[in-house]
Structures are given as structure tokens and as C-alpha cells.
Structure 1
Amino acid sequence: MRDLIIIGSGPAGLTAAITAAEHGLDILVIDEYLKPGGRLLGQLYEEPGGNWWNGIEESRKLSERAGALGLDIRLGVSVHNIEQENGSWLVYTDRETFEAKSLLLATGAAEAPVAIPGWTLPGVMSVGAAQVMTNVHRVKPGQKGVIIGVNVLSSAIAMELHIAGIEVAAIALPKNNRVNGSAAIPTEVMNALLHVSHMAPSAFVKMGSKLMKNEFMKKMGITLYPKNGVRMWDIPVMLRKAVIRIEGTDQVEGVTLATVTADGKVISGTEEVIGCDFVCIAGGLYPLAELAALTGCPFYHIDELGGSVPLHSEDMRTPLDGLYVAGNITGIEGAKVAMSQGKTAALSIAKDLGKDIAEASLSEAIRQISSTRSDAHIQFHQDVEVGRRKLQEYWEQHAAGKRNILV
């Protein structure tokens, strides 16, 4: 029996594995992908000061550290069930069943779709798929594309496609319907993007965002927003146009755009078709927590964290003995936060398994998560701190209820 099984070899999982191994734990890491690194593998962006965050390079560094420690990492292995039995965790995979005293879920995030007529055509893909094809496999998803969905993720990946020499004809909103919700409403999208306006290479966007101090100015801003968009990396970002249909017979041939009102309603007669050979759908990310649901761990839906997340404490413990979480399964944030969470989770696990972990070391690791979050260049949700406070309140309520039962 192992001391610890980690499911997920992304930034959280690998960092946790390295930290746990350094404290003498016997570890197995499982991942269904063919390479370790998770979403790190596709990341490439410029940080303040001119340095570039290269996810492939960061993943390589983590993999080399793991290799030097002799970690057992099984790739291409899919988990289909988890059970707790007699105080240990059983992990059922398509290869064999593994057993450990402790289990860390670092399964990351998945992409949410947006519903657009024509989205089943060949050549339509998630924006993350285009990122992996371009940055990991060095394969162009096409020659000219359109991205549907204006958010932090789509903007970052559009820049990466541009660097790779791929033409992005437009980043536009999805059609307004009951599925797409606020992602199709210009005022809501603009408000969500204000907290990351510092990342924009456009002086117009940076200057304009500083004026959006109240609701009146925000309404003025979206009303005056250019119909043909504002160019960033020479890509028109359109907050007043939506893709109402993806065109094509046997594959993507183009999209139909229409001008929309500030509340997302299509203005009749404004439809136009632009040609392209691929379309990326960018509906944002949500915590990939299905395996946590198998364990019976309590969940809470917190919009500020991207969806439903398993209940956990600041030190990454869940209410179930021997079960821990780290990374985007706990809420959508960047790789650096995930790595800090992975380290914290490993220290908690080592401490619970009887290793000599100073309380000060664990407290410092928890503090490091918070400071890393505060310093993050990219925040996927503007109110992530609010979400974290909500989760902590839920944890405290759960702990208080448990104490009452014991009394």
C-alpha cells in the first residue's frame, strides 16, 4: 500500500508529489494524458517586467525534479471509480486498482461550451484544444479562425495564436440564448473584463477602463464601444457583435456576425458573413470535480470560483479522512496558485501521516497561497477572494456542526 496517490500531474499534482517525496512519502501519480504538466503545457504569456511565462519550460523543470526523486508517474491511465475501505483509498483505473492511505485530487479544470448553431461542424473546437495543438504539438488548427467568447482565457490564447502566425479574424460574443447567459451580454462581459484591463496591449482599452468608475460610465462605455471592435495584437475584440451561426456544409467555412444591443439582443439587418476555416469556442473554465463527487465529499457552488467545488480548508484538507484537493478543482486560478496549493496539500498529508512537519511551515505555505493569489498577473474571476471567503465560512460551519454532533 502506498502512502499517497495523486490523481493529476499538472502544476498542483507535480508540486505536491515533489514536496511529499522530499518528506519521505511513498507516492504514485496517475494522469490520463500522455505527458505530465496539465494545463501548464499550453501556457505562454508575458508577465510584468517583460519576462515570459513558458508553461512547457515550467513543466519540464517540475518533471526533472520529479525524475530526480524517482517518482512513480503513470501516464495514459484513466480513473473510473474511487472508494474508501477500511481506512484506505482504492483507486480503480483502466489498468489496475491502486491502494493508498491518502488521496490527493488535483484533476484541474475543464472547458465550458457555448451553444451556437453549427458547432458540430468539423473545424469547431474549444479554445484550449487550439492552444494545445499550437503550443504543445506545433500544429496549426487552421489558417484563419474566429474565437467565440470574450474572456481572459480567449484573450490569452488569441495572443498565443497570433504569435504562432495564425490569423484570428475576430474575438466576438456568442449568440444570446438561455444557455450562454451573461457571456452573451456586452455590459456583463465588459464589467467582467475590467479587472484584467491592465493586460491589454491597447492604450485605448487601458485608458477607457480607468474611466469605468460607475454604472453610468459603464453604460456609456459599452454604448460607444466601436462596432467593429478594438484591436489587440491586431485582432478585433468585438463586444458589440455576436456570432449567431457557424457556416459550412462539411466543415467550417465562416461565421455569421450580427451587431447586438448593450443587453445582447440582435439588431435585425446587421448580419454579415466572414470567412474562416476554424472556430474556437471559449466558454471559460470550471472545476473538474467528478472524481471528488464519487468520494461523497460535500460540494458548494460558488460562482466566484467558477462553479461547484469540493469543501476544503485552507490547508487543502476535505471533511473526509485522508482526502485532499489542490489546484483548479478547488476553484479556477492560475498555475502559480495551483503550485502553492500542491505544496500546502503535501505538507498537510505528510503531517497527518506522522511526519515531523512544523506548524509554522504549514502556516507559511498557507500564507504563500494567499500572497501568490494577490500577486497573480491573471485572475479568471474578479471576485476570487470573495469566493475563497465564502468557502472558508462553509468550512467553519461544517466544523462547528461536527463539533456539536460530537458533544
Structure 2
Amino acid sequence: MADLIIIGSGPAGLSAGITAAECGLSVLILDEYLKPGGRLLGQLYEEPGGKWWNGIEETRKLEERAAALGLDIRLGTAVSNIEKEDGLWHVYTDRETFTAPSLLLATGAAESPVAIPGWTLPGVMSVGAAQVMTNVHRVKPGSRGVIIGVNVLSSAIAMELNMAGIDVAAIALPKMNKVNKDGANPAGVMDSLLHVSHMAPSKFVQFGSKLMQNDFMKKLGITFYPKGGVKMWGIPVMLRKAVIEICGKEQVEGVILATVTTDGRVVPGSEQRIDADFVCIAGGLYPLAELIGLTGCPFHHIDELGGYVPLHNEQMETPVDGLYVAGNITGIEGAKVAMSQGVAAALSIARNSGRQGLDDILREAVDYVSETRRKAHIQFHPEVAEGRRKMQQYWEEYEAAQERIAPEEPAAEKEVLQGV
């Protein structure tokens, strides 16, 4: 039996495992994928100052530290159920059942699909799948592609595909419907992109973005946005074009684009075809929290964090005793934030397991999470700080409610209320 089981070997899980082992805990890390690293594996981008962030290299560094500490990492191991009995967590996998008093969920994020006519054709994939094929497996998803969905993730991966010698014909919006109205509204998409305009390779685009900081200029900008798009890395980014259909008989052969109004409505008669042999759908990311739903941990829907997020505090503790979270399960952010959260979670676990002298170190780790967030080069949600404030408020409200219950309710009933 280990002291700690971590589900997920991405940047949060690996960083947590390393820190916990350094604190003297025995650690078991489980992951269903064939390699550790999670979404970190596919990342490759240039940071301010010209330094490159290479996810494969960062993963290698974490792996080396984990190996030096003798961490037990079980890959290709899918978790099917989680139960708690007599103060111990029982984690059921397709191989065996593992037990530990502490459990950290670092399950990361999943991609949201966007339904478009033709999306079941061979050659249609998520933008994250194209990233893994290209950056991890060194296999081109195709020769010429179109990305549907204009957001931070699609922009970053389009750059990576371009660097790999893959022709990205366009990044365009999806056709608006009831499900994807936020991602198909040109004005809303432009507003979200303004928060990451510093990533643009063109000084002209960066300067132009600075001009559109008030509502009037934003409206003017989207009204006169070029129908052919603005090129970034040589790729047309189209905020006034939407993909209304993916074409092909046996596989992807192209897409049908149509001009859209400033509020996302298709302009009749504006349809045109672009040839392509693959299509990437970029609907954004959401916290992958199905497993923690088995634990009785409360959830809150926070748009600024990407969806339903388990209740937790800054020390990465949840209301369920012995249960912790770190990484994108707590909200969609970059790998550096996930790594810093993993360290904070591990220090919380070690302290709560009886390790002494960690209070000051834990406070510093929590502060470092905030600092890393503030300095993040890529922010998937521009109002993430507001999302974190909301989560802290929910935590304080929960604690206040528990204090009111404690003097009146017997322990057994209080335990039941914790899972509500």
C-alpha cells in the first residue's frame, strides 16, 4: 500500500509525485496513456525573450527526477472506479486494485467537440489529436488542413503544424448554432483573442490589438475585419468566415466556407469551397472531472475556469478527507501553473500526513502558483483570476456552513453532508 495514489501523469501529477517523494511519502502514479507527460508532450512554443518551451524536453526532465526518486509509475492503466472505506481510498483499474490513505486527482482536461455536417468523415480530428500526431509521434495528419474554431489553443497548434511543414489553409469559425454560439460569434471571439494578442508574430497585429481596447473600437474592428482574414504565421485567421460543411465521400476533401455577419449569421450566397485533406475541430477544453464525481466531492460551474470544477482551496484540498486535486481538473490553464499546483498539492498531502516543518514551504508554494498564473504567457481564459476568486469564495462559504453544522449535527450526519 502506498501513502499516496496519483491519477494522471501529466505536468501536475508528475510534479506532485516528485515533491511527495522528496517529502518521504511512497507514491504510486497511474495513467491510462502509454507515455507520461499528458498534454505537456505536445507543447512547443516561443516564450518572451526568444526561449522555446518544449513539452517533450520538460517531460524528460520530470521523468528523470521521478526515476531518481524511484517513483512507481504504472502506464497503460485505466481507472474504472474509486471508493473510500475505513479511511482508505480504493482505486480500481483494469489490472488490480490499489489502496492508499491519500488520493490526488490530476486527470487534466478534455476537448469539446463542435458538430458540423461531415464531421464523421475520416480525416476529421480534434486539434489536440493533430498536435499529438505531429509533435509526439512525428506523423503528419495530412498535407493541407483547415482548423475550425478560433481560440488560444487552435492558434498555438496552428503555429506548430506550420512549423512542421503542414499547410494550414485557414482558421475559421464554426457555423453558429445553439451549442456553439460563443465560439461562433465574431465579436466574442475577437474579445477573447485580444487578451493573447502579445503572442501574435506580427508587430502590426500586436499594435492593432492595442487600439481595440474599448467597445467602440472592437465593434469597428470586427465590422471592417478583412473577409479573407488576417495572416498569422502565414495562416489566414478568419473571424468573418464560418465552416458550414465538411466535404468528402470516403474522406475529407475540403470545406465550405461562408461569410458571416458581425453577430455570426451566415450571409446567403457567400459560400466558397477550400480544398483540404484533413480538418481539425477546436472547441476548447474543459476540466476532465468524471472520476472525481465518484468521490462525493462538490462541484461548481465557473465559466472563467472552463466548466464544472471540484470544490477546492488554494492548498489543493477538497472537502473530502484525503482527496486532493491539481492541474486542469481545477480549471483550464497552462502546464507551468499545473506543475506549481502539483507541488502545492503534494506539500499539503505531506503536511496532512504528519510531516513536520512544511507550513512555511506550503505557503510559499501557494504564492508561487499565483505568481506563475500572473506571468503565464498563454491564458486559455482571460478572466481566470476572477474564476479563482469565485472558487475561493465558494470554499469560504462551505467552511462557514460546516462551522454552523458542527456543534449541532452528529459526526455521521456531518460526513454525509460533506458529499452533498
TM-score range, shorter chain: over 0.9
Partner residue, 1:273? 273
Partner residue, 1:35? 35
Please report how far the alpha carbon of residue 359 of structure 1 lies from its aligned counterpart in structure 2 after TM superposition: 1.2
Partner residue, 2:134? 134
| Matched position secondary structure for 1:118 | coil
Deviation per CA, 1:301-334: give whole Å up to 9, x if none.
0000000000000000000000000000000000
Please give the alpha-carbon distance, in whole angstroms, between the structure 1 residues aligned to 2:80 and 2:138.
Answer: 31
Identity %: 74
Alignment of 1:331-342 (within 5 A): 331-342=331-342
- The runs of 4+ residues in structure 1 deviating greater than 3 Å are none
Contact 1:11 1:37 in 2 (8 A): yes
1:113 and 2:128 equivalent?
A: no
1:178 and 2:178 equivalent?
A: yes
Deviation per CA, 1:255-284: give whole Å up to 9, x if none.
000000000000011100010000000001
Partner residue, 1:386? 386
1:187 and 2:187 equivalent?
A: yes
Partner residue, 1:311? 311
- What TM-score does the superposition give when structure 1 sets the normalisation length? 0.99
Please give the alpha-carbon distance, in whole angstroms, between the structure 2 residues aligned to 1:210 and 1:343.
Answer: 36
Deviation per CA, 1:163-218: give whole Å up to 9, x if none.
00000000000001111121001000000111000100122321211111221111
* Structure 2 residue ranges without an equivalent (≥5): 408-420
Please give the alpha-carbon distance, in whole angstroms, between the structure 2 residues aligned to 1:324 and 1:360.
Answer: 19
Please give the alpha-carbon distance, in whole angstroms, between the structure 2 residues aligned to 1:257 and 1:101.
Answer: 55
Please give the alpha-carbon distance, in whole angstroms, between the structure 1 residues aligned to 2:357 and 2:105.
Answer: 21
Please give the alpha-carbon distance, in whole angstroms, between the structure 2 residues aligned to 1:167 and 1:275.
Answer: 11
Contact 2:347 2:358 in 1 (8 A): no
Letter matched to residue 131 of structure 2: Q
- What TM-score does the superposition give when structure 2 sets the normalisation length? 0.96
Indicate the larger mover: 383-392 or 199-208: 199-208
Deviation per CA, 1:283-307: give whole Å up to 9, x if none.
0100000001010100000000000
Please give the alpha-carbon distance, in whole angstroms, between the structure 2 residues aligned to 1:91 and 1:248.
Answer: 44
1:222 and 2:214 equivalent?
A: no
Please give the alpha-carbon distance, in whole angstroms, between the structure 1 residues aligned to 2:80 and 2:350.
Answer: 26
Partner residue, 2:236? 236
| Matched position secondary structure for 2:377 | coil
| Matched position secondary structure for 2:195 | helix
Contact 2:146 2:170 in 1 (8 A): yes
Please report how far the alpha carbon of residue 379 of structure 1 lies from its aligned counterpart in structure 2 after TM superposition: 0.3
Please give the alpha-carbon distance, in whole angstroms, between the structure 2 residues aligned to 1:214 and 1:60.
Answer: 44
- Say what the alpha-carbon RMSD is for the aligned residues: 0.6
Partner residue, 1:91? 91
Alignment of 1:144-155 (within 5 A): 144-155=144-155
Partner residue, 2:164? 164
Alignment of 1:351-366 (within 5 A): 351-366=351-366
Partner residue, 2:101? 101
Please give the alpha-carbon distance, in whole angstroms, between the structure 2 residues aligned to 1:215 and 1:270.
Answer: 28
| Matched position secondary structure for 2:145 | strand
Please give the alpha-carbon distance, in whole angstroms, between the structure 2 residues aligned to 1:2 and 1:16.
Answer: 14
Letter matched to residue 145 of structure 1: G
Partner residue, 2:329? 329
Indicate the larger mover: 206-215 or 283-292: 206-215
Please give the alpha-carbon distance, in whole angstroms, between the structure 2 residues aligned to 1:94 and 1:192.
Answer: 41
Please give the alpha-carbon distance, in whole angstroms, between the structure 2 residues aligned to 1:331 and 1:147.
Answer: 24
Please give the alpha-carbon distance, in whole angstroms, between the structure 2 residues aligned to 1:364 and 1:230.
Answer: 43
Please report how far the alpha carbon of residue 251 of structure 1 lies from its aligned counterpart in structure 2 after TM superposition: 0.3
1:78 and 2:78 equivalent?
A: yes
Please give the alpha-carbon distance, in whole angstroms, between the structure 2 residues aligned to 1:176 and 1:204.
Answer: 29
1:395 and 2:371 equivalent?
A: no
Contact 1:350 1:357 in 2 (8 A): no
* Structure 1 residue ranges without an equivalent (≥5): none
Please give the alpha-carbon distance, in whole angstroms, between the structure 1 residues aligned to 2:117 and 2:205.
Answer: 31
Deviation per CA, 1:342-398: give whole Å up to 9, x if none.
000000000011011331111000000000000100000000000000000000000
Partner residue, 2:367? 367
Please give the alpha-carbon distance, in whole angstroms, between the structure 2 residues aligned to 1:60 and 1:213.
Answer: 41
Alignment of 1:235-274 (within 5 A): 235-274=235-274
Deviation per CA, 1:123-163: give whole Å up to 9, x if none.
00000000000000000000000000000000000000000
Please give the alpha-carbon distance, in whole angstroms, between the structure 2 residues aligned to 1:345 and 1:58.
Answer: 20
